[in-house]
Every structure is written in structure tokens, then in C-alpha cells.
Structure 1
């Protein structure tokens, strides 16, 4: 597993507070699946990119789906949700490849106790932008790009794109000044404003760098997002991300009392 955020010297790129890259893994037939049984979250959102494989989601609010390669699972925990993630029954029985990337996005205090929600989107439900040279394909998960509106609704106006580039592909992105940028190279090699970035690297920008020019040096996949920084205190413990330690204690009590749902 790779964890670009948090890392030494980089606690977060608000509102993006955690990034895990699992895989690629090869599962044998009749496997036990993933070790992510029922567990709670409060105070933030998760966005899971299914790069390969089939991931099953279930939660205490009645949402259930299996999302396959190229799709995403956007879960708004907000005031509290209990959920589980696993390989699909098909992949537990038959095995196969699995690679996922999970991003945690903080919520401001005004939205931390809003209604939980889940959006499961298959690849064919996500609009695509194709570059003029046809060497770049951008899946518009949320936000807007070149007239395409993302399939997922974001409470905080996040833009989230999944970018695939072939060697020699050129693409440019414009970021609104003041927004923070998440830019993670899943694999491949790409020049970012003339500087080389390779697989498993996080590229960090300042909030005044509004033009991003990409030129793929090989087949490359990139996760790209923008969001408004949340200028508030943040305290976290395990699956809870709140503004004060008192709120953390309350989250633990509410979970123990079943207020976040039960599975």
C-alpha cells in the first residue's frame, strides 16, 4: 500500500486529508476478500476509485452496490455512517486483480453533521472528455470540464477527475486561484509544467499556480482534484474527523450507541 497523504512534512492538502493506494494485487480463487468489515466514519467523505476489480459496498443506511473497474464510490459520512467494503462475491469465489485508490475529503464544520449519502457510479455513467489528439481521456467525476458535468454531486464544490494519457499526449488544466490541488500519478511518467513526475508520486502546487500543462512520456494515469481549503481546526482519531476533541468523544459515544447505523 502507498500513502502519499499524510506523509512526512505533509499532513494534508486541505480539504484532501488522506490518500491510500492499494494494489495492484492478484487474488486467488476462494479468497477471504478485503479486511474492511463494518466500521464507522464521521465528519468527512470518502471517494474510492476502482482502478481494477470489483468492490462491494454496503452500509447501515441501506445502500448496497458492486462497482467495477473504472467506476467510483463516493460516500458522504457526514454525521455518521457504518459501512463495509469488500471484493465482490464473484472475485471472492473466482479471484482476479484488484487495485483501488481511496481519498478522504474533509467537510467544514457547517456540513459535518449533515445527512449521510452514498453515490456508486459505474464507468459508463461517468462523462468523458477526449482531447483533440485523442491521446487523453478525462473521466469527469464531479465538477465541470469542457462542457461536461460530473456524474457525482459534491457538497463542497470539489472537482474530481480521473485522467488517462497515452504516450505523447498533451493536456492542459486551469485551476481557479485559491483552490488547492490534489495531483497523484497512479502510474506512468508525465511532464507537469515541464517537470517529470512518475508513478506513486504526489505533485504539490501552490494556490497561485493556476495553469497546469501535461505531456505524457508513457501511458499514464492521474487522479486530479481541486477544492477550497478548510481553514478550521481539525482533530482526528481513526475514522472520525472533527473540529474539537469534545466532538471526537461525542462521535465515539454516538457510534457505541448505534446512532451511526448498525450492520
Structure 2
């Protein structure tokens, strides 16, 4: 019997002037461990007149993780952060009770051809931190644990695994791991993982119990401890997972919380542009993403 419990096909989602491949949430699987939302961005070829422009928009009750493979994004938020993220680095923003941020192509790239490729991820917060003050941290690529075993390269982007710990300041037990091969290789790492686990194949293929899987799919493991697979040559996979929360997490638009009343209040505050709840973003306050009218009264 296969250890694959569910296969989620990447589906296209529009985030304004940019299409992404949405992996989570899925109607049959709302979260993997504390991961409640995963978008695969690109790879996209952007012309000199095309740019990523996601105006200021709000979040509550979650942490965002941005990890780029190609390109560059300039992040600004209502805490006062203003940081360019490049491939291999990590932006980690914890919304807590409420934060606003924007994501745009940096000014120096706005009139040149460029590529953009990476992951945008939301991680739910433990219940006791859902109303915490917002925070932001930027971790450079050379700060992440990277090692090689038997010709396989591992990178621990966030969380804990393999008796190692990423400097990304996560708030619960989780892992986000990159694995790369040059030659075909059998991988057996279940002993290092915990909770729930999902795999995304970026390049190459993986063989699991005589079944071959390629890109555009999120593979959900039935048993994390039985995480064993064969990777083809020049393959890259990502593992997401960790300990799930006891309480259900509700998602409405950009808001995540275990308490629906907090989400309903956030809808009202953003719709009314209550800057006590959602402060302006310094350096990017002339525009914002309006609350979709379709969700204002949705329960």
C-alpha cells in the first residue's frame, strides 16, 4: 500500500497582474502541519513593462514566509520594514493581531526584462500568539543550514529537522526543507521528520513504491515516518510539514485565525481602513488592496 495519502494538483490562481500555482489550501486538505497556504510563483518571464505589484494588504493570525529561487521582491510593511529579498534568503513576517505589507518589483528592475520564481507561504500561529504584536525578520541565504550527504544536498530553510535548526524565528514545530540531487539517489529520512509532511517536486521526478511523480503536484504522506523515495538525477524537491494545531484554523481572504469573530472584525477594520488596527505602510501608502465585497458578510 502506498504511503501517498493524497495528491494535490497545482492550480492556477490570479493575484492581480501575476498568476501563481496554488498548492494549499485544498478542499480535501486545509493544512499540512501548521502550513495553511502555499503558492508556487512562476517561473515567470517579465518584460521591461511588466512588474510584480501587490499593493498594501492586511494579515492577521499567521506568519508569511517568502523564499525566492529567481528574481527579486521589495517588501515593505506597517512595522517599518523595507527589505529587498533575493534568491536563497528568507523573509519571515509574523502578523499577530494585524500587519499590512506590500510586495513589488524593486525600482532598479522595473524597466528591465526579469524572471521571478519562488514560494509564498502562510504558517498558522499557535493560539496564544494570534493576538501578538507583529514582527519581521530577514535571513540571508548564507545563514541557512546547508549540508551534503552521499552526494545529496540538503537545505533547512525553516524549522527543525536532521538535528539542525534554521535561524528563521518560527513559532511552532515545523520544517521546510530543500533536497537536491545530481545523480539518481534513494532518500530515506522519515526518522528525522515529525507530524504531517508534504512533498513538492520542482525539478526531475521522484519514485515512490514504483509510482513516478513529477512537478505541479503536492504529495501528502500518510505516515511521515515512512518518508522514503527515489529522486532522479538533477532533481529538486521541497518538504513542508510539522506538528498540526489542536484547534481548527479558519481562512477568509488574507486572514487566518482560530476565532471567527477575530476574522469578522478584521474584515470590518480593513474595509473601513481603520489605521489603528491596520497601520499604513511607510513609503507605500497611496494604494491598497480593497476587501473583496463577496467576503465582507460571509461567515
TM-score, normalised via structure 2 length: 0.79
Which residue is equivalent to 1:104?
122
Aligned with 2:220: secondary structure? coil
Q: How much does 1:193 deviate?
A: 5.4
CA distance 1:50–1:114, shift in 2 (3 Å):
same
Query: Do residues 191 (structure 1) and 207 (structure 2) align?
Result: yes
Which of the numbers 40, 51, 72 marks the counterpart of 2:58?
A: 40
Deviations 1:10-51, CA, capped at 9 Å, x for gaps: 33324221111121111112x342131110000111112201
CA distance 1:193–1:262, shift in 2 (3 Å):
farther
Query: Do residues 3 (structure 1) and 34 (structure 2) align?
Result: no
Which residue is equivalent to 1:150?
166
Query: Do residues 50 (structure 1) and 68 (structure 2) align?
Result: yes
Aligned with 2:221: secondary structure? coil
Which residue is equivalent to 1:228?
243
CA distance 1:158–1:144, shift in 2 (3 Å):
closer
Q: How much does 1:122 deviate?
A: 2.7
Deviations 1:168-192, CA, capped at 9 Å, x for gaps: 1333323568601132112321224
Gaps of 5+ in 2: 1-19, 282-299
Which residue is equivalent to 1:179?
195
Deviations 1:34-78, CA, capped at 9 Å, x for gaps: 131110000111112201111111101011211111222222112
Which residue is equivalent to 1:164?
180
| Count of residues paired in the alignment | 259
Q: 1:40 & 1:137 partners in 2: Cα distance?
A: 36
Q: How much does 1:124 deviate?
A: 1.8
Query: Do residues 23 (structure 1) and 42 (structure 2) align?
Result: yes
Q: 2:136 & 2:184 partners in 1: Cα distance?
A: 37
Which residue is equivalent to 2:288?
none
Contact persistence 1:41–1:240 (CA under 8 A): yes
CA distance 1:78–1:38, shift in 2 (3 Å):
same
CA distance 1:193–1:143, shift in 2 (3 Å):
farther
Which residue is equivalent to 2:32?
13
Contact persistence 1:166–1:216 (CA under 8 A): no
Q: How much does 1:139 deviate?
A: 1.5
Which of the numbers 83, 87, 96 marks the counterpart of 1:69?
A: 87
CA distance 1:145–1:237, shift in 2 (3 Å):
closer
Gaps of 5+ in 1: none
Aligned with 1:7: secondary structure? coil
Contact persistence 2:188–2:228 (CA under 8 A): yes
Q: How much does 1:99 deviate?
A: 0.6
Which residue is equivalent to 2:96?
78
Q: 1:194 & 1:105 partners in 2: Cα distance?
A: 32
